[in-house]
Amino acid sequence: MAKRKKKPRSFITIITLVIIIISIFTITTTVDSFSLLSKSNKRINILIFGIDATQSSQSKGTRSDTIMLLNMGVSGKDPILISIPRDTRVEIPGRKYPEKINHAHAYGGIELLIDTVEGFLDIPIHYYARINYKAVEELVNALGGIEIDVPMDMKYTDAFDNPPLQIDIKKGLQTLNGRDSLHFLRFRSGYANQDLGRIDAQQQFANAIIKKVKSPTIIFKAPKLTTIFYSNIDTNIPKTRMLYLGIGSILGTQQELTKMTLPGSPAMIKGVSYYVADDKELQHMKENYLTPRKSVETSKIEVLNGCGINGVATKFAASLEASDLHVSSIGNYERKDVLQSFIEHSPQSKKAAKKIAKILNIKELIEAEGKYEDIDIKIVIGKDLGDQ
């Protein structure tokens, strides 16, 4: 008797919907459920995932396949999309030993998956979106196809899939329709690192989608896209006050979608293949990307003399104070021969640092890694400003 081939897990991509999700949040920030968030300068976390099932059976007992976290400001600003490999080793509430994160949905549905992600990343999940196959095909077709530079010949057949799966996409730049886009995103057997290679394909697909929706004509397709969104997704994102011009709204803000993958590496543990997060890099990601952004008013600012001219730090600190900004400390930099003034800042204080740079006419900004318990923005005055 022939051995039945193992059915590849259904890949339910969510990249196609990210722009629409951002659009919805961009135009619904006046909804009551967002009011407390906006007042407290928090960021919204949306868990977006697909499962090994059709929409009619999206319930417990099915494993989540693709898992992503969309993190952004309450007005849709600074969106970050984090891919979480499905084999990531995590603690699942109620389970005795660590398991793969995609098991959580099978054990306890949406609620347990949310609890697992919240515990793993130390953040609250405000909303979720669970997606099926049909959304991908319909959205890509509604957009008129997506231009993709396919990295290799993609050929794969699974007669046991329902319906039978037959992937046959040639290498090279081409416009993929909805069906071929889904095949492009499901394919993984040809990548050396499989799941991580497929995540790279997701990000390539995301760039293609973003390029497509930047077309001015996209606003005329917004009604159809939002209809597809709610017809194919199980979500608790509120429909209240969702406007047809949502996509035009996000395009108008020209937001850049930052994409990253959970830091870690594959590992075999007791004969089981996992993706194990790098604890140090994960902590860095939590502190620098998943926490609320800081405004100029809330950032802790330090001004340092880097040119050796007496009174320079005090002078520029006073200039900031005159602009109603609070300087936490002043002092001397480790060097006295700095030629060009610069600003070091934490990722959370990037926008605040840009505002200060404009006030002081400083051109060089450096996003520094590490913990920022005492200072968020460090301003080093060089000879270019000290001699003025």
Ordered per-residue pLDDT tens for the chain, 388 residues: 443 333 333 333 343 444 444 444 433 333 333 443 444 446 788 898 876 544 444 455 565 667 889 887 766 667 788 889 889 999 999 999 999 999 999 899 899 999 999 999 988 888 888 877 677 788 888 888 989 999 888 888 877 766 777 889 999 999 999 889 888 877 777 776 666 677 777 778 877 877 777 677 776 777 777 777 777 778 777 655 343 323 333 444 445 667 788 999 999 999 999 999 999 999 888 877 887 665 555 678 889 999 988 888 888 888 888 777 778 888 899 888 899 999 988 877 777 888 888 888 888 988 876 555 677 888 999 988 887 7
What DSSP character marks residue 88? B
Alpha carbons 326 and 322: distance in angstroms, whole number: 9
Query: What would the two tokens of residue 310 be?
Result: 């007496």
Domains of the chain: 15-289 (3.40.630.190), 301-386 (3.30.70.2390)
Q: Cis bond leading into 292, ω under 30°?
A: no
Helix (H) or strand (E) holding 386: helix 383-386
Of 169, 237, 13, 205, which is closest to residue 213 (Cα–Cα)? 205
Query: What would the two tokens of residue 281 be?
Result: 């890099």
Alpha carbons 190 and 198: distance in angstroms, whole number: 10
DSSP E strand stretches across the chain: 43-51, 64-73, 80-84, 89-90, 99-100, 127-131, 146-150, 154-158, 165-169, 172-176, 233-235, 258-261, 264-269, 272-277, 301-305, 327-332, 342-345, 364-367, 377-381
8 A C-beta contact, residue 53 and residue 65: no
8 A C-beta contact, residue 68 and residue 48: yes
pTM given for the model? 0.62
Task: Give the orientation angle of helix 133-142 with respect to helix 15-27, to 10 degrees.
Answer: 80
Q: Which residue has the tokens 């799966």?
A: 165
